[in-house]
């Protein structure tokens, strides 16, 4: 049996002329995880294609094609699926978008898989081998994250990524932010790999540096503490995602630093306490952001802080104020996104029932396009203001001000900042909507 697994491109993440250059691209674990789960007894030949780094041939020699779908890639995925199904190859779709809105994906596939697929994907393949493919497979009711093979990272070309040292210890998140796909797609129960399995994966790959793609590594404090303890003897440097709550837990923060944590991505989301409260993320306290940054820097941990624009209380001054704060607080790597109501989330339901969803062209649901009517500004202002924040935070003088206090080695910080500067300054080339930004911004002054 020949199985081809595909990760389709999106407007930003694509092989030719994409904005995710190698410097911002690490190997995702989706295809390596699915490839490793193919049951040995099927003796299958598995080929993995990532359209972010390579072309997908018009004709594929395959008995079955599996594609992973996020909302921003759904349109491309459905197009590829139609093409391959016309050629007589059955297509299976799975991933976050399929899990959030299964009925959207179902007509475009012979079978869909919702939720985590460690049990359902091997079952689907066994059914397919015996000619009994069903049209829908769901996450097992008693799903756990133990007892499965390690991801097979050899299925993608390592040289095309900044790093293939990408790992996963946990899945899901205990919080319930209204805009986030995580609680809506996978629920709020955290799943964890046994710590020994994670350590084994790191050791086998001789990891000196590792990226954890876990959505919130500290969702379960006890698990996080035991993971960090176990990482200490490995003497590696690692990067991951956590919430600002980490900085209220001095012992856990110190342990994270001792275990080799050198960089964290945190969703700050907004500089307004009202906006945070209304969106279910009131544990973020803007008045404590300075403490968060300083605590991380004291522990030599650099911070990638993510902000979203377009929350209902945001007004036109939010862009400049937020970028200014990033400079004042010396945030190592600020990131700005347009609030995106991913289908299946509470945010989407709320905006939809108010008639504020502008369209369902999923290719624009990528965190950079405005797809809803903002409360206090025009669509174009939100689009352009987000671009403005990128340019202001990454203007050369402001970049220099921010990285003067960086926790990372200076040249590492400079290189990552320049990569993000390129990203922020060129985003407008990737807009496909009418609110496309003009080359010269109407905002007067880029300096903070």
**Where do contacts with ligand SF4 occur on this chain (CB under 6 A)?**
173, 175-177, 180, 182-183, 215-216, 243, 267, 281
Q: Which of 120, 72, 116 is nearest to 97 (CA)?
A: 72
Q: Using CB distances below 5 to 8 A depending on partner kind, what does residue 368 bind out of ligand B12, ligand SF4, none? A: ligand B12
Q: Using CB distances below 5 to 8 A depending on partner kind, what does residue 95 bind out of ligand SF4, ligand B12, none? A: ligand B12
CB of 235 within 8 A of CB of 258?
no
Q: Using CB distances below 5 to 8 A depending on partner kind, what does residue 12 bind out of ligand B12, ligand SF4, none? A: ligand B12
Long-range contacts at 276-281 (CB < 8 A, ≥ 24 apart): 278/311, 278/312, 278/313, 279/177, 279/178, 279/179, 279/311, 279/347, 280/175, 280/176, 280/177, 280/178, 280/346, 281/175, 281/177
Q: Which stretch binds ligand B12 (CB under 6 A): 25-33, 199-207, 217-225, 232-240?
A: 25-33
Alpha carbon separation from 280 to 177, 269, 326 (Å, rounded): 5, 11, 23
Q: What is the closest distance, in whole angstroms, from the C-beta atom of residue 9 to ligand B12 in the complex?
A: 7
Spatial neighbors of 158 by CB under 8 A, at least 6 apart, are 27, 164
Spatial neighbors of 348 by CB under 8 A, at least 6 apart, are 341, 342, 357
Strand ranges across the sheet with 209-212: 166-167, 209-212, 237-241, 261-269, 302-309, 333-338
Q: What is the closest distance, in whole angstroms, from the C-beta atom of residue 63 to ligand SF4 in the complex?
A: 37
Q: Using CB distances below 5 to 8 A depending on partner kind, what does residue 216 bind out of ligand SF4, ligand B12, none? A: ligand SF4
Choice between 219 and 236, CB closer to ligand SF4: 219
Q: Dump the DSSP string for 37-48.
A: TS-GGG--EEEE
Q: What is the closest distance, in whole angstroms, from the C-beta atom of residue 280 to ligand SF4 in the complex?
A: 7
Q: Using CB distances below 5 to 8 A depending on partner kind, what does residue 7 bind out of ligand SF4, ligand B12, none? A: ligand B12
Choice between 13 and 238, CB closer to ligand B12: 13
Which of 3, 62, 70, 399 binds ligand B12 (CB under 6 A)? It is 70
CB of 338 within 8 A of CB of 383?
yes
Choice between 299 and 386, CB closer to ligand B12: 386
Q: Please, which of residues 204-263 interact with ligand B12 by CB under 6 A?
A: 213, 215
SS3 93: strand
SS3 416: helix
Q: Using CB distances below 5 to 8 A depending on partner kind, what does residue 92 bind out of ligand B12, ligand SF4, none? A: ligand B12
Choice between 20 and 443, CB closer to ligand B12: 20
Q: x/- contact string, 48-67, with ligand B12 (CB under 6 A)?
A: ----x-------------xx
List phi, psi (to 5°) of 221: -60, -45
| Segment (H or E) for 383 | helix 379-393
Q: What is the closest distance, in whole angstroms, from the C-beta atom of residue 252 to ligand SF4 in the complex?
A: 16
Which of 94, 310, 334, 424 binds ligand B12 (CB under 6 A)? It is 94
CB of 195 within 8 A of CB of 167?
no
Residues lying near ligand B12 in the complex (CB under 6 A) are found at 7, 10, 12-13, 20, 25, 28-30, 33-34, 52, 66-68, 70-73, 92, 94-97, 100, 113, 116-118, 121, 168, 181-182, 213, 215, 337, 342, 366-368
């Amino acid at each position: 049996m020949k199985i081809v697994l595909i990760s389709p491109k999106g407007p930003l993440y694509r092989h030719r002329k994409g904005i995710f250059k190698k410097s911002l691209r690490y190997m995702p674990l989706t295809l390596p995880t699915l490839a490793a789960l193919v049951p040995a007894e099927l003796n299958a030949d598995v080929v993995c294609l990532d359209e972010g780094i390579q072309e997908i041939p018009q004709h594929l020699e395959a008995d079955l094609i599996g594609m992973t779908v996020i909302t921003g890639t759904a349109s491309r995925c459905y197009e590829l699926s139609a093409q391959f199904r016309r050629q007589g190859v059955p297509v299976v779709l799975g991933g976050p978008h399929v899990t959030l809105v299964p009925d959207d994906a179902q007509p475009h596939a012979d079978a869909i898989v919702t939720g985590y697929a460690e049990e359902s994907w091997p079952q689907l393949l066994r059914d397919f081998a015996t000619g009994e493919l069903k049209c829908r497979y769901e996450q097992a009711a008693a799903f756990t994250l133990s007892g499965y093979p390690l991801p097979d990272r050899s299925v993608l070309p390592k040289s095309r990524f900044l790093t293939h040292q990408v790992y996963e210890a946990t899945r899901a998140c205990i919080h319930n932010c209204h805009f986030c796909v995580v609680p809506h797609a996978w629920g709020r129960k955290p799943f964890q790999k046994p710590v020994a399995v994670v350590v084994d994966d790191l050791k086998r790959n001789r990891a000196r540096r590792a990226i954890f793609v876990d959505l919130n590594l500290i969702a379960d404090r006890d698990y996080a503490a035991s993971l960090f303890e176990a990482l200490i003897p490995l003497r590696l440097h690692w990067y991951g995602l956590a919430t600002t709550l980490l900085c209220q837990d001095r012992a856990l923060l110190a342990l994270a630093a001792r275990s080799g944590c050198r960089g964290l991505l945190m969703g700050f989301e907004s500089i307004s306490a009202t906006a945070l409260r209304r969106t279910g993320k009131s544990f973020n306290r803007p008045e404590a952001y300075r403490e968060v940054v300083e605590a991380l820097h004291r522990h030599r941990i650099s911070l990638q802080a993510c902000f979203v624009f377009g929350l209902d209380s945001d007004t036109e001054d939010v862009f400049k104020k937020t970028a200014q704060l990033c400079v004042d607080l010396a945030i190592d790597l600020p990131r700005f996104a347009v609030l995106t109501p991913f289908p299946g989330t509470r945010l989407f339901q709320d905006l939809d029932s108010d008639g504020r969803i502008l369209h369902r062209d999923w290719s624009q649901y990528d965190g950079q396009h405005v797809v809803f009517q903002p409360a206090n500004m025009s669509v174009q202002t939100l689009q352009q203001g987000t671009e403005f924040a990128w340019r202001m935070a990454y203007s050369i003088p402001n970049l220099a001000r921010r990285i003067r206090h960086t926790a990372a080695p200076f040249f590492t910080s400079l290189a990552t900042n320049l990569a993000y500067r390129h990203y922020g300054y060129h985003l407008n080339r990737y807009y496909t909507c009418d609110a496309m930004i003009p080359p010269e911004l109407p905002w007067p002054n880029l300096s903070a």
